[in-house]
Amino acid sequence: MIEIDLSGKTGLVVGIADRHSIAWGIAQMLDKAGAKLAVTYQNERLEPKVRDLAAALSDPLILPLDVTDDAQIEAVFKELSEKFGRLDILIHAVAFAPREDLMRDFVETSRQGYAIAQDVSAYSLAALANGARPLMKAAGGGSIVTLTYYGAEKVVAGYNVMGVAKAALEASVRYLAHDLGPDNIRVNAISAGPMKTLAARGVPGFMDMLKYHEEKAPLRRRVDMEELAGTALFLCSPLGTGITGEVIHVDAGYNILGM
Ligand code: NAP
């Protein structure tokens, strides 16, 4: 029997807002596999919720992190360096665009809304990867996993400015994989089928997207959290060491369809 054992490994999970968050599903899976985790909360409003959830993990480090703040990014990696001395896993599951820009056709996106969507949803991966690099080098390598969506590849009506940010995120995965590969650091994205989370509810027409997905996807269903988290676990495990720079679709096959 092959078992995935991450004991002795350490991970940073960014993007937990509540119990529906994809980041939370992944954190639970990595914790079960034995990894020692640090989790972050975006602001004071979310801190109690993240602390409540994290109580179910084995002795996690809980840190503040707004990914648009360079000083906070630096502080997180300083803390990880002191407490863990190494980093094996980074899960990046954050995205944001101002609601008014998400509600508009892409052609009407504001300059500021475009910049915010790119900063939070795409640039933050590079910023975190750069911070993680020395600690991953100290561990002899590492695995970075981000979350993306099919709206990066094809037009998904309503996904708008976020689709363009996800396209930048997927390109970033490839450039980061190229830069960090010589340090044995792998960078991959999971392209997830639609999940009912806080962020998804902000996408106009999300419930219709969900219904359409269930009707059309080859497996005729949505994916669940276990399937997403299981893929993240695989990518962070010794089973995934040959894979980098990839966008892996965990979407019940939806992306293979033409019409
Ligand atoms: P979620 O639970 O709302 O998670 C999104 C997270 O991003 C939240 O924790 C949010 O915190 C955080 N965030 C936003 N701005 C931030 C900032 N400046 N600094 C730090 N954190 C920030 O939704 P989710 O669906 O799990 O999203 C996780 C990832 O999966 C995202 O990249 C999303 O695009 C991707 N994804 C989701 C789906 C889906 O259908 N749900 C499909 C494909 C890909 P706040 O709540 O405080 O803003």
What CA–CA distance (Å, rounded) separates 213 from 104? 23
Atom of ligand 1 minimally distant from the CA of 66: 19
Active centre residues (catalytic) = 149, 159
Q: For residue 165, what is the domain's CATH number?
A: 3.40.50.720
Using CA atoms, how far apart are residues 166 and 159, in angstroms rounded to an integer?
10
**Cα–ligand 1 centroid distance for 67 (angstroms):** 12
Three-state SS at 112 = helix
The pairs formed by 252-256 with CB atoms below 8 angstroms and a separation of 24 or more are 252/193, 252/213, 252/217, 252/218, 252/219, 252/220, 252/221, 252/222, 252/223, 253/217, 253/218, 253/219, 254/150, 254/193, 254/213, 254/216, 254/217, 254/218, 255/150, 255/153, 255/191, 256/218
Rg (CA), the chain: 17
Q: Is residue 259 part of a domain?
A: no
Nearest CA to ligand 1 atom 28: 93
Mutate to test the pocket of ligand 1, among 39, 70, 102, 197 (most ligand atoms within 8 A of CB): 197
| DSSP label of 122 | I
The Å distance, Cα 1 to ligand 1 centre, comes to: 35
Tally of helices (H runs) and strands (E runs) in the chain: 10, 7
**Which residue from 235, 128, 250, 123 is spatially nearest to 186, judged by alpha carbons?**
235
Query: In this structure, is residue 170 part of a structural domain?
Result: yes
Tokens of 82: 């002191």
Range of the domain at 79: 10-253
Strand extents, DSSP E, 55-196: 61-64, 89-92, 142-148, 185-192
Per-residue pLDDT of the chain (259 residues; tens, 9 = 90+): 888 999 999 999 999 999 999 999 999 999 999 999 999 999 999 999 999 999 999 999 999 999 999 999 999 999 999 999 999 999 999 999 999 999 999 999 999 999 999 999 999 999 999 999 999 999 999 999 999 999 999 999 999 999 999 999 999 999 999 999 999 999 999 999 999 999 998 888 899 999 999 999 999 999 999 999 999 999 999 999 999 999 999 999 999 999 8
Residues 6+ apart with CB under 8 A from 240: 143, 186, 188, 234
The answer to whether residue 243 is domain-embedded is yes
- In this prediction, residue 203 carries a pLDDT of 85
For the chain, the domain total comes to 1
User: Does residue 1 belong to any structural domain of this protein?
Assistant: no
| Domain-embedded: residue 47 | yes
Give residue 123's pLDDT: 99
Q: Is residue 5 part of a domain?
A: no
Residue 2: what pLDDT? 84
